Every structure is written in C-alpha cells, then in structure tokens.
Amino acid sequence: MQFLAYSPKPTPPSHKLPIASDPETPARDFDSANPDALDLTPDEIQTQYPLHCAIARDKTPSIAQVIRIAHHFSLGSVRLRDPNGFTPVHGAAASENPHALRVLLVLDPSGMAEDLKSTKNRDGMTPLEALKSSMRSTKEFMETILHKWDGYSDEGLRCEYLVQKALGGLPVLAAETEEVYIKKRKFGCTCGMCTDGWLSPKISLFSYTVLL
C-alpha cells in the first residue's frame, strides 16, 4: 500500500494538494468471530475446520474427493471461514494446491467468484494475492538462503492460471492452455511472450544484433 508523504520543503507539488485529499487511516475490514482462535489446539482446529486442514495437508488428486464429500454433506463447507477469515479457496491458493482449487471452482462457481475477490481475512489478501505472496516468498528463500532458484513451481503457476481465468483473466489467457501458461511464466515472465519464461523477443533481437 502506498501513501503520499509530507515534505518539509516548500517546493514539492504535494504542498498544493488540499487537506481533503489526504488518505484516510487504513482500517481492517475483518473482525474475527472467534477472538480465542489463536488459543485453539491442533486437535480443535482439525475438528472444527477439517476441510481447511485437509486442503493444506493433501496436495494429491485425492483431495478432490474429500472436498466433494464435504460439499455433499454441507454445501456451506466450501465457503466456511476459519477464525482468521480464510475460506477453503484462500487456503488452496495460498498452499499452491491446484487439485483442491480446481474442484472448488467447479463445485460452487458463484460462491467462489465472491471468495476470490474477498479480502476479509487476517492478512487482507485475496486468494490471488495470497498465492503470489507464497510464490514470491519461496523464490526469495531459494535465492537468498540456498542461492538457487529453478523457477516457480508448476503447482503455483497452475493455481495462478486457474484463479485468473476464474476472475475473467488476462486477455492472453483466452489463447493459452494451462501448459503454455506455465512454460511461459516459469521464470517470471509478465509479457506472456517470453520463450520458456525468460527469453523475451526484445532480448532475442538484441542478442542477434550484437552477434551480427
């Protein structure tokens, strides 16, 4: 979040702005329904929020059946908020679990459309923001601590593709398959035109020109 800071110098343009243009104090749009949530034991969390725990733990295709069963017995289970305000789709995105994310988006498209835009949680993040934060943290850890990063995980990129497509997506998604999206963005490409996610057309042209 960015704010305009006041400068003691008289020349900056900010001095010309009226007081009414000052930003309001940030407010949290989330109040936990359970103020004692942080005191819950692991067993209590597992008992009260089994679907959230399963999504965070099981990243195999079998999680799809677990979610379907939970939805069958309780339609609201796929949208239940945990004490920190996170829904199952938040958990699926943040934990980079494409198997869980895929079935959630199919079971309740309209409900997921709302949850994908929701920031009413402890971190004030949408599922996509939580996902990108997770991917960025992993990248920074690998580069800083291990001094080696082999690109974003396929799972993370699959989740990114699914979420953006569900949200209406980028124009480029209409012409891209999931596998093409992953290949192009493996190393952080944002233009969608890079070869294997790192070699852009401009760099290719520059390299060719230099070689000539």
CA distances from 13 to 2, 4, 25 (A): 17, 11, 22
- Take residue 19 and report the two structure tokens written for it: 């007081």
Cβ atoms of 81 and 87 within 8 Å: the answer is: yes
Fold classified for 40-169: 1.25.40
* CA separation for the pair 111, 196 (Å, rounded): 35
What are the tens digits of pLDDT across the range 185-205? Answer: 999 876 766 665 556 666 555
Is pLDDT larger for residue 208 or for residue 152?
A: 152
State the pLDDT at residue 194.
66
Residue in 61, 64, 52 with CA at minimum distance from that of residue 94:
52
Could you count the other beta carbons within 10 Å of the beta carbon of residue 130? 22
Q: What is the dihedral of CA 108, 110, 114, 116, to 10 degrees?
A: 60
Would you place residue 27 in the very low, low, confident or very high pLDDT band (cuts 50, 70, 90)?
low
Does residue 6 have a pLDDT over 70? no
The lowest-confidence range among 19-28, 91-100, 174-183 is 19-28
What average pLDDT does range 14-28 have in this prediction? 66
